[in-house]
Chains A and B, each alone.
Chain A
Amino acid sequence: MTPAEKKELQLTAVKVREGILTATHGAKSGHPGGSLSAADMFTYLYFKEMRVDPKEPRKDDRDRFVLSKGHTAPGLYSALALKGYFPVDDLKNLRHTDSYLQGHPNMNTVPGIDMSTGSLGQGLSTAAGMAKGAKYLNKDINVYSLVGDGELAEGQIWEATMFAAHYKLDNLCIIVDKNGLQIDGWTKDVMNTDPVDEKFASFGCDVICINGHDFDDIEKAFEKFHSNHGSGKPTCIIMSTTKGKGVSYMENEAGWHGKAPNDDEYKQGMDELAAAKKAIEEA
């Protein structure tokens, strides 16, 4: 990645964060915390990693993405809108009665969504099914699925991981957003899912631990994923992140898991993001 590319990704990530605030503010509900922690990953996936074309959202041989932690739809929608799947201006209609932007991803109403999700634990299994299908059909398709660290308490995550390793789905990339927080508080207090790396390794994955807000780290992790093709091992990228990243009053606060910013909070957040954009541009 060139310095110019990196700068562009950083700027896009700030715009994704702006979209998250605009969408949840417009909805007066939704999940900003986990959307912000994954904003850099959404950005990298759609602007660098995945072979997708917003002009042909259902193209047969595209890479697939399944948002297993479906409540962070504002983050995904924001990235999709910026990529050109639908107008950025529509983000403010998130969760409105007449909007196609449903509270959780709907593959039949939102261009670019590869699978309807929202009920935790299920998305990874569906992604494994896609990866299995690609293998069976001899198609060069990568499947990516983002899961939350709180979501790892769902038993089905481990059924899916077992399936992926058993069927040697080295075209499947599991990404864990380890922001350490869930609705009821710190994940280590609610239901400890650590050691996450050892769990996925023991289930047969190649585990890579990274800083989820560092594009160099993210790039290296996906390079490893690509080099794992042919190994028969699914890849699991565990990214340490900060819930609410980029908006000072939301960072590391469980209360911002599923709460929208009011008008004052929205203005403050957008001001902070504008300053962040300016700093990146001037760097």
Chain B
Amino acid sequence: MSAAGSMSINLLPAARQKASRTRARARAWIIGGTLYGAALGLASAMVAVRSSGAAEVSAKLADSAARGAELDEQLKAVRGTMATTRREAEAVREIQEHPDWSALVGCLARAAGPTLILDHCSLRPTPAKDGGGKGEKLANVPSGFTLSLTGLAVSNADVAEFTENLERLKLFESVSIVSIRAREGARVPREGESGTLVSFDIVCALSDAGAASADASGGER
């Protein structure tokens, strides 16, 4: 197009040109505002849609967390049940592997002699020492047994003899006299003897190690 072809002069009155420009500007603002509003609405809608998706995921995560906590609680309960069951199994095994304690009573009777009376005899499992490790050995599983003996003797020498007899059995890991004291009001019942009876308290530790040493020495059991 030549220069003449590109010549354009607008002889529209200036007031109308100004009004036309104002209308065009207003139209552009309206169109721009409408487009902006539409874009804003679209963006808001997209954000809303995405937010609803995030909320759904958050809800799923919360559900999963709750489910995980619930499973943890169930796991703890199962672990407690397992520990109880394991303790019961250990106790059963201990009972099943327990020696014939009636033989022990016979040994005690033979070690006591005629000058000594046993009025109480108890055999209790010895609690294991807590090592603080992570091993599965339970605190209540016995490491051995403690035999407590109480009774009356004619004299202290009878008590000492009884103690020696017990040690001689090679059955116990240790034999300890806890106490010996005169028993007021308890007289020797046999004629020709005077004096007051003494009561004693002896503790014997019975363990697999002691039994093994007894087996090695060929001691009576």
Indicate whether A and B interact: no
Residues of A participating in the B interface, judged by any CB pair closer than 8 Å:
none
